[in-house]
Amino acid sequence: MLAAHAVPLTHSRGRRFPEPPHPYRNDFQRDRDRVIHARAFRRLEAKTQVFTRRYSDHFRNRLTHTLEVSQVSRTIAGALALNVDLVEALALVHDIGHPPFGHAGEKALDTAMREHGLFFDHNLHALRIVEDFEQRYAAFRGLNLTFEVREGIIKHSHDYSADEHPELAEYLLDQRPPLEAQLIDLTDEIAYNTADLDDGYEAHLLSLEQIREGIPAFERFYREVEQLYPTAPDKLKFNESLKRVLSRFVSDLITNTQSRVQRAKIQTLDDVRHHPDRLAAFSPEVESERKQSKNFLYENLYYSPSLAEEKEDAERIVKELFTFWMANPKTLPTNYQEKAKQDSLPRVICDYIAGMTDNFIFEQYEKHCGTAR
């Protein structure tokens, strides 16, 4: 049973190109499956989350991170009686627009585009992927996803202005996204705030003492775990503590979102859309703990000296390849040369680089610019 304010499948605004119903899958399930079978989704397996494989094959990549976001999102959506199929599709597609090299690659690509009066936004790029770049069907370009999934791609983590983005006007930019979409940005944070602590500790870039001192919520649970398992190895005590941190974030997001919906007297999906604020949120106490965890990761992991060289290499590779293709567009693949006849060359180069895996962009750099490392 769906909550009255959830997105009912029967009220979907449908697809850009109408299709007959499937005999045993609803439209949001079909969207989920189309995302999973997309080439862009498969490429996430070879895109950096935080660590490259230089450290270990055990660490998250962009694909395994996406699967963890999907698992957390489904759990929370089920507890809130939201449309789990829609939430799953949105979770699986939420990072599909990311370029290689994680946030370092995204920063470098945006910087290169701004030199030409343009910009790079991974949400808007994701929409371009599902609307145009994926070509699997004879009847239409793209994946022909439902309106609700396309809307969630661009609105799950950011509010866009119709004045600044008139091309997005169809996506109800003056309204809030459904709760199914609002959840995704928060479940994304739950997943990476805990997973990056795990990988950072496993990589020996974060010590147990650092984490205990820098994240009070973790320290509280660690003391509890020490009482329960005094003889357990530190790694297992760490695992038990981190598991409790994740559970706290998830439980709080469920209960606080329920409370906010009740206090706002939300009855329908339209109530959600016209509420002045997003309703999915952590409580003030847990929001403070989330910020502490995120700030700790930025200060001690993401900008750590151990990762600085890789980030600098990533930014240099993206910048130099972008510059090379601006000066030598005839070395682009033939299909991208054709695209450049209809679209601006910087945008075409951006699209090409954004679709690359880490491995492929290294190959391209060594082919055109010299040794990458």
Q: What are the pLDDT digits (tens) for 111-136?
A: 999 999 999 999 999 999 999 999 99
pTM of the model: 0.95
Residue numbers of the domain that contains 210:
25-307
- Which residue, of 307, 324, 345, is where some domain finishes? 307
* pLDDT value, residue 49: 78
* Residue percentage of the chain with pLDDT more than 70: 98
> Would the pLDDT of 68 be above 70?
yes
Whether 140 and 210 map to the same domain: the answer is yes
- Answer whether residue 31 is part of any domain: yes
* pLDDT value, residue 54: 59
Confidence label for 303 from pLDDT (cuts 50, 70 and 90): confident
Confidence label for 48 from pLDDT (cuts 50, 70 and 90): confident
Angle CA 212–66–233, to nearest 5: 30
> Would the pLDDT of 349 be above 70?
yes
Q: Are 2 and 28 in contact (CB under 8 A)?
A: no
Instruction: Kindly give the residue spans of alpha helices, DSSP state H, lying in 12-145.
Output: 27-36, 39-43, 62-79, 84-93, 102-114, 122-128
> Would the pLDDT of 352 be above 80?
yes
Tell me the CA distances in angstroms from 8 to 155, 174, 252, one per residue in order. Answer: 19, 21, 25
345: nearest Cα among 156, 166, 112: 112
> Would the pLDDT of 300 be above 70?
yes
- Which residue, of 278, 307, 336, is where some domain finishes? 307
Counting Cα atoms < 13 Å in the Cβ hemisphere of 1 gives 2
User: How many domains is the chain partitioned into structurally?
Assistant: 2
* pLDDT value, residue 51: 66
Confidence label for 372 from pLDDT (cuts 50, 70 and 90): low
- Which residue, of 287, 307, 327, is where some domain finishes? 307
* pLDDT value, residue 181: 98
Q: Are 215 and 301 in contact (CB under 8 A)?
A: no
Q: Are 275 and 176 in contact (CB under 8 A)?
A: yes
Q: Residue 83: left (phi > 0), alpha (psi -120 to 50), or beta? A: beta
Q: What are the pLDDT digits (tens) for 183-242?
A: 999 999 999 999 999 999 998 999 999 999 999 999 999 999 999 999 999 999 999 999
- Answer whether residue 13 is part of any domain: no
* pLDDT value, residue 304: 86
* pLDDT value, residue 11: 83
Average the pLDDT over 21-43 and give the result.
Answer: 97
* pLDDT value, residue 287: 97
Q: How far, in Å, CA of 174 to CA of 153, rounded?
A: 16
H/E stretch holding 180 reads helix 179-202
* Residue percentage of the chain with pLDDT more than 90: 89
Q: What is the SS3 assignment for 183?
A: helix
DSSP string, 215-250: -HHHHHHHHHHHHH-TTS-HHHHHHHHHHHHHHHHH
* pLDDT value, residue 123: 95
- Answer whether residue 351 is part of any domain: yes
CB atoms within 10 A of CB 373: 10
> Would the pLDDT of 10 be above 90?
no
> Would the pLDDT of 55 be above 80?
no
- Answer whether residue 332 is part of any domain: yes
Q: Tell me the average pLDDT of the chain.
A: 94
- Answer whether residue 245 is part of any domain: yes
Whether 139 and 231 map to the same domain: the answer is yes
